[in-house]
Amino acid sequence: MSSDKRTEANKAIAVPEERRRNLRFPFSASVEAIENQSGTKVVGRTSDLGLGGCYVDTISPFPVGTEAKIRITRDNESFDAQAKVVFSMVGMGMGLAFVSAQPKQVRLFQRWVQEISGQPVSAQEAPVQSSQESAPAEETQTLKNVVLSDLIMTLMQKKVLTDLEGKDLLRKLFK
């Protein structure tokens, strides 16, 4: 077989390029998604979770581009956010990209990611405030931490940082 034919054969079985910007971690929790325009509801389970989104195992996923309100429930806590479907396969599931969430929800989600990624969760971050909203300065800092942790994880994924270097930076960020 000539090298040209081998190259063509390799192109035919090429694996699709990874489009995720963030590391994902195995995470199982129930999910309820409600399509914004029609109110159609889909239920499923997450199989993985990362700062940018999650994958939901469901038989009837929404089509790509659909915007929905999602609720991910783990133990006695629920994370609510707006999300957009970026991948969909009927009978299998859908990939969701998080679009927005309230600061209180961001803190809960951030804690979940810390826990499943093996990062220590400080005692003051562990409980999520339920009756009080935090001060605007604290909310701003929390959102900055989310952006910084997203950047660190992206650098780890692109192999600019080693796992050890990235985890060390994440630990320092959340001290």
- In DSSP terms, 67 is beta-bridged to 84
Residue type, 161: L
Residues 73 and 86 in one domain: yes
Asked whether the beta carbons of 26 and 116 are under 8 A apart, the reply is yes
Residue 80 lies in a domain: yes
Domain of residue 49: give its range.
Answer: 25-100
Backbone φ and ψ of 161, nearest 5° = -115, 145
**Domain at 86, CATH number:** 2.40.10.220
Express each pLDDT in 22-72 by its tens digit.
Answer: 567 888 999 999 999 999 999 999 988 887 889 999 999 999 999 999 999
Residue 70 lies in a domain: yes
Chain mean position to CA 109 = 9
The mean pLDDT of 149-171, rounded to a whole number, is 74
Buried b (16+ CB within 10 A) or exposed e, 106-116: bbbbbbbbbeb
Residues 33 and 78 in one domain: yes
Last residue of a domain, one of 100, 129, 152: 100
Residue 79 lies in a domain: yes
Percentage of the chain lying above the pLDDT 70 cut: 66
Please tell me whether residue 147 adopts helix, strand or coil conformation.
helix
Other C-beta atoms lying within 10 Å of the C-beta of residue 93:
22
- Predicted TM-score (pTM) of this structure: 0.61
Q: How many domains does the chain have?
A: 2
Express each pLDDT in 98-142 by its tens digit.
Answer: 998 898 998 898 888 888 777 665 544 444 433 344 445 555 555
Residues 86 and 120 in one domain: no
Residue type, 169: L
